[in-house]
C-alpha cells in the first residue's frame, strides 16, 4: 500500500441533523476541538473524540470532495479505542481535500473536512507579534524578602519543569521482558516507570497488555491521570512497532489487545 507523508489541515467540522429531529439541543455535536492531527517523521494519525458512546454510531466514511470517491468505510465499533475515541492511521490518504463522515444511528451526521498536503509542503501559519517587547538576553530578576534572602523565581522553576517534562517525553522508551507465555512491557520516562503485564492470547488474539484502571492509575503508576491516554497510546503503538508489526491492536479500558491482520 502506498504511503503519503504530507501533513493534514483540519478545515471545518459540521453537524447535520435529520429533518425529523425538532429539538436539536438534545443532540450532542462534534467541535473543532474534538479533532486532532499528529504528524511524526515516520507515521501520522488523526484522533476524533465522539460526542457520545461509540455504540450510538454506524460507520465512518472518508471521501474525496472533488469526485466523491470513497477511500475508507469502516464500522465505528471496529476502529474505536476505548469508548469515544477513534484513532486513524492517515498515511494511506493521498494529497487532496476530503470529507470524513461519521453516521449516527439517530440520523445525525458529523462531517470533518480536511486537506492532505503533498509531502514537504507545510501549512502556513500567520506569525503573531508579541504585544509587549522583551529582551531575551537580559538576566532574570532576582527576588528577595525583607531580610535580603533570595526568593525562588516561580517563572524559572515553571520553565525548568516544562523543559524537564519535554525532555522526558522525547527520551521515553519501552523495555520488554519475556517469561514464557507471559512477560512485561516496561514504560520508562525520566526516573519513573510503569509495568504492563503481557500474556499470550488464543485464536486471532496474539497477546494482550493489562492496563491499570482509571481509579487505580495514579496510585499504581505515579503518573497523573491526565497523562493516562497519551501513555497508553504510546505503549500500544510502540509495542506494535517493536514486537508485532504485522498485527493490529485495540485499546479498551482494561487492556491493549493485538490481533493478526
Report the distance separating Cα 31 and Cα 2, nearest Å. 31
This prediction's pTM: 0.49
What rounded mean pLDDT belongs to the chain?
Answer: 84
Closest CA to 243 of 211, 203, 196: 196
Report the distance separating Cα 229 and Cα 241, nearest Å. 18
Report the distance separating Cα 92 and Cα 5, nearest Å. 9
pLDDT of amino acid 13: 96
The pLDDT tens digits of the residues spanning 143-190 come to: 555 566 666 656 665 666 666 667 777 788 999 998 888 899 999 998
Cell 504528524 locates to: 39
For residue 231, pLDDT beyond 60: yes
- Structure-model confidence comparison of residues 136 and 11, the more confident one: 11
Report the distance separating Cα 150 and Cα 113, nearest Å. 54
pLDDT of amino acid 135: 55
The alpha helices in 20-111, defined as continuous H runs, are 76-79
pLDDT of amino acid 251: 93
Domain 8-116 fold is Immunoglobulin-like (2.60.40)
Which of the 8 DSSP states describes residue 32?
Answer: G
The pLDDT tens digits of the residues spanning 56-112 come to: 999 999 999 999 999 999 999 999 987 898 989 999 999 999 999 999 998 999 999
Which stretch of 120-134, 168-182, 247-261 has the lowest confidence by average pLDDT? 120-134
Instruction: Give the total residue count for the chain.
Output: 261
Q: What are the structural domain ranges in the chain?
A: 8-116, 170-260
pLDDT of amino acid 207: 93
pLDDT of amino acid 2: 83
Closest CA to 15 of 3, 32, 1: 32
**Is residue 182 within a helix (H) or strand (E), and if so which, with residue range?**
strand 182-189
For residues 60 and 90, the answer to whether their CB atoms sit within 8 Å is: no
For residues 107 and 17, the answer to whether their CB atoms sit within 8 Å is: yes
Q: How confident is the model at residue 124 (pLDDT cuts 50, 70, 90)?
A: low
Q: How confident is the model at residue 128 (pLDDT cuts 50, 70, 90)?
A: very low
Amino acid at each position: 500500500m502506498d504511503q503519503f507523508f504530507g501533513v493534514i489541515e483540519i478545515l471545518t467540522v459540521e453537524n447535520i441533523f435529520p429533518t425529523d429531529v425538532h429539538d436539536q439541543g438534545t443532540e450532542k455535536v462534534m467541535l473543532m476541538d474534538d479533532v486532532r492531527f499528529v504528524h511524526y517523521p515516520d507515521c501520522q494519525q488523526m484522533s476524533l473524540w465522539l460526542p457520545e458512546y461509540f455504540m450510538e454510531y454506524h460507520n465512518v466514511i472518508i471521501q474525496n470532495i472533488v469526485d466523491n470517491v470513497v477511500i475508507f468505510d469502516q464500522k465505528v465499533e471496529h476502529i474505536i479505542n476505548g469508548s469515544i475515541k477513534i484513532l486513524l492511521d492517515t498515511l494511506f490518504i493521498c494529497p487532496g481535500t476530503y470529507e470524513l463522515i461519521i453516521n449516527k444511528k439517530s440520523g445525525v451526521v458529523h462531517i470533518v473536512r480536511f486537506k492532505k498536503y503533498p509531502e514537504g509542503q507545510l501549512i502556513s501559519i500567520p506569525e503573531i507579534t508579541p504585544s509587549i517587547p522583551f529582551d531575551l538576553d537580559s538576566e532574570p530578576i532576582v527576588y528577595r524578602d525583607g531580610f535580603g534572602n533570595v526568593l525562588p523565581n516561580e517563572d524559572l522553576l515553571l520553565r525548568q519543569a516544562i523543559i524537564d517534562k519535554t525532555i522526558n517525553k522525547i527520551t521515553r522508551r519501552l523495555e520488554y521482558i519475556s517469561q514464557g507465555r507471559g512477560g512485561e512491557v516496561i514504560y520508562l520516562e525520566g526516573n519513573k516507570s510503569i509495568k504492563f503485564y503481557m500474556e499470550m492470547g488464543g485464536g486471532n488474539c496474539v497477546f494482550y497488555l493489562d492496563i491499570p484502571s482509571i481509579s487505580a492509575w495514579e496510585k499504581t503508576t505515579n503518573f497523573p491521570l491526565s497523562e493516562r491516554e497519551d501513555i497508553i497510546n504510546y505503549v500500544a503503538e510502540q509495542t506494535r512497532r517493536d514486537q508485532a508489526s504485522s498485527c493490529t491492536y485495540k485499546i479498551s479500558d482494561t487492556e491493549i489487545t493485538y490481533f493478526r491482520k
